[in-house]
């Protein structure tokens, strides 16, 4: 089985960016959601992006964004992909893919088999679906370090590329890959020492665990 691709989400400092690149992650996530402890402004993102250019893929994360926010962020951070982490419909996702001309990822919050089935509706609208844990009402829609039942997506063979997120960390990511055969893993809290504070050693350990899975 090929090695799973790795996305380290919630990068907000040059140190964390360099740690992700050193560890050979494939993607970083830049969070454009002001309520997140990992939020970046377009100005922060532009600086990080310039440093990342050609070294790692830059995914901008948004929650029900309007077009103005997206236009500003895509241009400032020269994003390689847009990740939608709110209640965006397939129609909205398709509209954004066509408008911005870069890949669109859609996060789907999972607590049951029916949640996984929702992925089919996005098959023509997005480039990848990211199965993530459903978070409690009123909490952030992601980045909470919560896992869902991996059996729900074990060996998933849907009509669109996919990835696994939610509560992944150096100690459990190899097991998650073994059980689900996911082609991509995404982590945020699992490589932090406090909300929003990435740790280079944990990033390295996470990527090493994926490589060894």
Other CB atoms within 10 Å distance of the CB of residue 136: 8
The nearer residue to ligand LARABZUK, 98 or 180, going by C-beta atoms, is 180
Residue among 6, 10, 19, 30 that touches ligand LARABZUK (CB under 6 A): 10
Any contact of residue 170 with ligand LARABZUK (CB under 6 A)? no
Q: At its nearest, how many Å lie between ligand LARABZUK and the CB of residue 104? A: 14
Any contact of residue 109 with ligand LARABZUK (CB under 6 A)? no
Other CB atoms within 10 Å distance of the CB of residue 153: 24
The nearer residue to ligand LARABZUK, 65 or 166, going by C-beta atoms, is 166
Any contact of residue 9 with ligand LARABZUK (CB under 6 A)? yes
Give the residues across from 63 on adjacent strands. none
Q: At its nearest, how many Å lie between ligand LARABZUK and the CB of residue 179? A: 17
Interactions with ligand LARABZUK, residue window 127-166 (CB under 6 A): 132, 140-146, 165-166
Q: Is 142 exposed, middle or buried (0-12, 13-18, 19+ CB in 10 A)?
A: buried
Q: At its nearest, how many Å lie between ligand LARABZUK and the CB of residue 190? A: 5
How far, in Å, CA of 209 to CA of 73, rounded? 32
Any contact of residue 65 with ligand LARABZUK (CB under 6 A)? no
How far, in Å, CA of 169 to CA of 185, rounded? 10
The nearer residue to ligand LARABZUK, 98 or 111, going by C-beta atoms, is 111
Interactions with ligand LARABZUK, residue window 16-45 (CB under 6 A): 29, 31, 33, 36, 38
Which residues of the shown chain bind ligand LARABZUK in the complex (CB under 6 A)?
9-10, 29, 31, 33, 36, 38, 61, 63, 85, 132, 140-146, 165-168, 186-190
């Amino acid at each position: 089985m090929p090695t799973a691709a790795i996305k380290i989400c919630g990068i907000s400092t040059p140190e964390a960016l360099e740690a992700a690149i050193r560890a050979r992650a494939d993607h970083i996530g830049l969070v454009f959601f002001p309520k997140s402890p990992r939020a970046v402004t377009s100005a922060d993102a532009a600086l990080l992006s310039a440093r990342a250019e050609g070294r790692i893929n830059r995914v901008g994360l948004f929650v029900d964004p309007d077009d103005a926010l997206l236009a500003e962020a895509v241009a400032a951070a020269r994003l390689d992909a847009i990740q939608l982490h709110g209640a965006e419909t397939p129609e909205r996702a398709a509209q954004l893919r066509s408008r911005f001309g870069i890949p669109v990822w859609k996060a789907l919050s999972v607590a049951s088999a029916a949640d996984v089935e929702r992925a089919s509706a996005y098959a023509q609208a997005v480039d990848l679906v990211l199965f993530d844990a459903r978070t409690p009402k009123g909490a952030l829609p992601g980045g909470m370090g919560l896992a869902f039942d991996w059996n729900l997506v074990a060996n998933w063979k849907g009509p669109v590329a996919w990835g696994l997120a939610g509560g992944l960390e150096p100690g459990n990511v190899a097991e998650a890959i073994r059980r689900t055969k996911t082609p991509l893993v995404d982590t945020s809290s699992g490589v932090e020492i406090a909300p929003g504070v990435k740790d280079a050693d944990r990033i390295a350990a996470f990527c090493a665990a994926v490589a060894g899975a």
